[in-house]
Amino acid sequence: MAFGRVDRIAVLGAASTISTIRPDGTGARVVSPGGGGSSQQQVAWSPGGRRLAWGRTEGRAGDRARSSLVTADPDGGDRVATALPTMPFYVWWRPDGRAVACLANGPQGIDLLLVDPGGRARVALRGAPLFVSWSPDGRRVVCHVDDDRLVVVDGETAGHAERELTAAEGFSSPAWVREGIVADVAGADGRRLLALVDPDTGLVRRPLARHDGWARVVAAGPGSRIALCVGPLDPGRDRRVLIDEGEAIPEALTVVDLVTGSLDVVLASPPVAAEWSPDGRRLLVLVAEQGGVGGPRLRWLVWEGAEPRPVGAPFTPTRWWARTELAFADQFAQSRRTWSPDSRSFTYPVRNEDGQDIIVVQTADVVREDAPREICPGVACSWSPG
């Protein structure tokens, strides 16, 4: 099947069936059925939206499980499976679409596998925990591994280069942006330092936040702005957080422009997740509501430079989404797309009042309590890049 402009949502169903559907709920296509002793997870769009990739394992009771990374067209055509030791739980296409980075359980905790679909798969790095970010050109991958190491590895499936960049800190995902690598590293004064690091030398190009606790790169946008949070280890103690040598609000969600140095405080507390729109103008922020009956209640906010405004009503996330993606939201914000290609709508999975898991689409310009549009059943989803 030939595809022109792609504007579809990939959906993972409760029985691990993978499908795609138009944003209006029409044109559903099964990409890969679930069941029959198989399990599938972590659907990822390629750049441009021409291919999908996901993890799969199959094997009936008594048989040895066979795991693979599968790629296919959005209608399920031209399917290619690449054998892997274990099923990946995180999948991210290389920016040029030539390879896929996967995280999977391995003998030393977590394996970073670089996969050429239909070709070879290379274990590029092992350790735990392990967070990754592709370079913008796709030639390298930066990894925060074993709590205290920032490592750069060759992004080629046939490559073998690995280089220690600098000492890392904490339990956080790095972000490789045009200006360099944003990561939590060890500062020279004994304090931790969220910094823009030179990807070749490991030297700090620009300190972003000095702190004594934790730091999160919540979202790195298509432009020069990043959203970050920094906080103390002990919330009961009055510890200063310095951003670009100016005192900032501890734990606040802050947007920093890496070119101009401008700062904007978006929220006074850390969000559950956040994601920049494709045009770089809007920051979609997910926050937890106080209270809630029958599980956590979440709410979306949209920030465009002024006060963040609520969009839609509070909702309960699907258990799958909460457990597998929201628990590692900063990592998934780099690879999974919630926004539509035109930056006007977004998609997410909810558990409705009847206990059903469904995929919905919400327009970003609506007033506070406008309900989203239900499009199909599902536990997780991702919008195509274009």
CA distance 241 to 229: 10
DSSP code per residue over 114-140: EE-TTS-EEEEEEESSEEEEE-TTSSE
- Range scoring the smallest mean pLDDT among 159-168, 353-362, 365-374, 377-386: 365-374
**What is residue 167's predicted lDDT score, i.e. its pLDDT?**
87
CA distance 348 to 15: 18
**What is residue 2's predicted lDDT score, i.e. its pLDDT?**
45
Q: What angle do CA 180, 53, 76 make, to 5 degrees?
A: 145
Of 137, 334, 143, 97, nearest to 221 by C-alpha is 334
Of 319, 375, 323, nearest to 351 by C-alpha is 319
> What percent of the chain has a predicted confidence (pLDDT) above 70?
90
The mean pLDDT value for 112-126 works out to: 94
**What is residue 240's predicted lDDT score, i.e. its pLDDT?**
46
